[in-house]
């Protein structure tokens, strides 16, 4: 990441990584240990949007863009549904961390 994260931010960063790999997983590689870093290049931007954006649609749009354009998989109702589910999970976890923060 290039910057030192607080313990709460590190929890959120790690969970975001796990969610992208195991749940979002548009190319179906979550069960391949050698592919564990497949989505790492998208992680910093998703994390940044999660931390800074007031509109969760920004994250949904980014995930759809990655899947559709960067991965060349096109756009579908399934990709939008997947992105919405992923963002809901991340937003809920972020809220849980904020509610349970030790600060």
In whole angstroms, give the CA distance from residue 42 to residue 17: 9
Any idea which residue has 């990655």 for tokens? 66
The mean-pLDDT minimum among 8-12, 57-61, 69-73 falls in: 69-73
Mean pLDDT, rounded, for 38-52: 96
Instruction: Tell me the per-residue pLDDT of 5-31, one tens digit each, with 9 for 90 and over.
Output: 999 999 999 999 999 999 999 999 999
In whole angstroms, give the CA distance from residue 28 to residue 81: 16
Q: What is the pTM of this model?
A: 0.90
String of b and e for 34-71 (b: at least 16 CB within 10 Å)? eeeeebeebbeebbebbeeeeebeebbebbbebbbeee
């Amino acid at each position: 990441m290039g910057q030192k994260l607080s313990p709460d931010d590190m929890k959120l960063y790690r969970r975001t990584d796990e969610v992208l790999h195991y749940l979002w997983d548009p190319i179906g590689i979550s069960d391949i240990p050698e592919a564990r870093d497949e989505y790492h290049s998208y992680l910093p931007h998703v994390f940044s949007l999660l931390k800074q954006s007031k509109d969760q649609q920004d994250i949904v749009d980014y995930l759809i863009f990655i899947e559709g354009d960067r991965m060349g998989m096109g756009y579908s109702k399934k990709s939008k549904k997947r992105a919405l589910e992923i963002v809901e999970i991340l937003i809920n976890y972020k809220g849980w961390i904020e509610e349970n923060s030790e600060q």
